[in-house]
């Protein structure tokens, strides 16, 4: 998956690090594994694992749980660095730009029944 253009990717180029940050910010409410991220972004798991150390060190992400040998993580919008990256990526563009990126990088949600009354998309 190619990460859509964002200020971070425009400034630093389409590096795997910029793609990872954009992905994490736009999926800040979701848990993820390193394998999930690597697969979605078409980045090697080894590269994502290497970047994980810095993300944990600066509290951009935190481990939420462990199932067997698999760790699950979540983006931390409340950390100092998490807030700064969130503002850079999410707030720097227009609302329409942010909505397009959020839609393109969002983790697919489970299918809903036909008569669920529709859903709402909230971008925060």
- What topology is assigned to 7-105 in CATH? Arc Repressor Mutant, subunit A (1.10.10)
- The SS3 assignment for 110 reads coil
Q: Per-residue pLDDT tens for 84-101?
A: 988 887 666 544 555 565
Q: Per-residue pLDDT tens for 42-76?
A: 989 999 998 999 999 999 999 999 999 999 999 99
Q: Please state, in angstroms and as integers, the Cα–Cα distance from residue 48 to each residue in 17, 34, 45, 70, 123, following that order.
A: 8, 6, 5, 14, 26
- pLDDT band for 30, please (50, 70, 90 cuts): very high
Say what percent of the chain tops pLDDT 70. Answer: 60
Locate the domains of the chain by residue range.
7-105
């Amino acid at each position: 998956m190619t990460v859509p253009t964002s200020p971070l990717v425009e400034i630093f180029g389409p590096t795997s690090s910029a793609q990872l940050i954009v992905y994490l910010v736009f999926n800040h409410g979701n848990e993820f594994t390193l394998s999930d991220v690597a697969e979605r972004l078409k980045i090697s798991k080894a590269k994502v694992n290497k970047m994980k150390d810095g993300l944990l060190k600066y509290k951009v992400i935190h481990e939420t749980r462990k199932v067997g040998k698999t760790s699950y993580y979540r983006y931390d919008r409340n950390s100092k660095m998490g807030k700064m990256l969130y503002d850079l990526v999410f707030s720097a563009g227009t609302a329409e730009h942010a909505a397009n990126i959020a839609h393109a990088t969002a983790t697919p949600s489970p299918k809903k029944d036909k008569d669920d009354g529709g859903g709402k998309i909230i971008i925060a």
